Structure 1
Amino acid sequence: MLTNLHPPKVIEFALSQITEILKKHIEITSLYYFGMQSSAQGTHNSLNNGASKQQQHYHFYLLLLSKHISTNALANLSDIVRQDSGGKYTVSLLLYMPKQLIAASDHHKYFFCKIIQSGGLVEGSPFELAPLQLSQIPKLDIKGITNYTQDRIAIAKHCLHLSDIKENASILSAHLIRLSFEQLRLSTIYAFLNYHPQHYHPLYLFKLVLFCHEIPPNIFSEHLFEQSLLKSIFCFHHTELRYRSSALFSSADLHMAYFYSQCLLDYLLPIVNHHLQTLKTASHENEKT
């Protein structure tokens, strides 16, 4: 829903600036816009006669199709948009070659279908729907969505349960907390969007979860990724298990990461389950008709 904070003209101007930034670094075949979030940050300077200012921040969700994608382009382009816009704009890019969409299984084309048919074309040519055979996509695989989602949730619960925080096993606890965090986000994204992200950076996945459902800041905030120690746990890479010492994180840091992960799990679990039930009910109603 558009508000006075982000009317169509504001979004159009922002998208034009983002597009110009992206075009300098990647050849765009098609660029689709399918969602946004905005927030305002205010500052007050009591030393300058109480001067205050407010900066609006916009986060856009975009599908970018390009015939040539370089290594690590997704992360690089996201960083470039943030840097070149002075932090005013950030993006969650779904970055694919056209042939990747065409080669995807029919059951995994629902999300792309929605974007191409309902999203706004920002740059390039409309992607040809014929090669995707969107009109021939089978019925939504409710059973597959349910199984995948419930399996991911079961893994998230189990890993969080196993992350028994001990001083001599801190890197193992960090690994299990991070794995639980990741699996929970993957389950939510697939339940709501029927989409498998190809890029697994924790903040990237969390932004997609926010697109699926709003999460109150007191439950889990993206600002937690700005805290170096928590970020190190939520972004902990499995290769660290090979080289790092067991004293990489303190018990206090691990307990805090565990707390936020548990809060997010407790918050999202009923929401995801309710959504799955809604899908099943809708499917049964369609079968009756």
Structure 2
Amino acid sequence: MKRVTMALQWIARTPGAPETWDFVEYEPPAPAEGEVTIRVRAAGVNPADAKHVAGPRAGVEFPAAIGYEVSGELTAIGPNTAIGSGAASVGDEVVAFRVRGGYSTQLTVPAEKVFAKPTTLTHAEASNLLLVGTTAAEMLAVTGAAPGETILLHGASGAVGVSVLQQARLRGIRVIGTAGENRFDEVHRFGGVPVRYGDGLADRVRDAAGGPIAAALDAVGTDEAVDVSLDLVADRRRIVTIAAFGRAGADGILAIAGSMPASTRFRDEVRAELIALAQNGDLVVPVARTFALDQAPEAHRLLATGHPGGKLALIPDA
């Protein structure tokens, strides 16, 4: 079968920071059965993209292609192949999640990781839908958050936090969300009750809740977030973190990550549900800024500040 044209991608030749990555030309393979090739219109930028190649890590071989989720269009489909959402044709707009090498102009990936793109989202938004969306969904699921309950969310104005707020609101779950005062409007926008983090946080949460806190979701990983969660939630099985892994082991709370087998299964199973929510307009993805694909290190410098104000995307055609 004829091979596809040359493409560009970001790779880490050895473990290191984004400034050490190389932007190189490569030749994506033509898709075999069970694979498709995507022309990337936008690549989502996530902390894990840099974290997973910052140092030696089990399961990561170098040189390593960077990027886990993209939005784009199909340019080739392997024989006898359907994508995760069903039959597809060349030219269809799609999203792909849990792939490798998303920071590219074109890539060939397993078809089961590819879904029809929600028409309600731009490519920049769609390329940032599933990593944060599946993380948020799992946090709500593992803590057993239920309609009518009030929960505490640390980092409510961040990318994962905003997805938690939207998914909780759809389920009738009330969320008290920590944020800086300059981000209160963002928490309000998605249905949360904002409280300022810092000294006295536990008392402010109690006052805002006006009743019991059923569960706590930590998307920031600070000692304050864990300590306040332990203070306010009696059942440690209903406290989850995606960042404070050391505290999770020491304090007996839950920790989840995409690399954990149970998390992998859950996040794969919930993909179609989240895409449907986005298609219906019930799940949006605020994008703060886009960068040209060759500006990946610059995008990560902004992301590393912890205050990008929304999601970031790399645009190959910019």
TM bracket, shorter-chain basis: under 0.3
Which structure carries more helix by proportion? 1
Structure with larger RCO (C-alpha < 8 A, sep 6+)? 2
Work out which of the two has the higher radius of gyration on C-alpha atoms and give 1 or 2.
1
Normalized against structure 2, the TM-score is what? 0.25
Q: Larger % of strand: which? A: 2
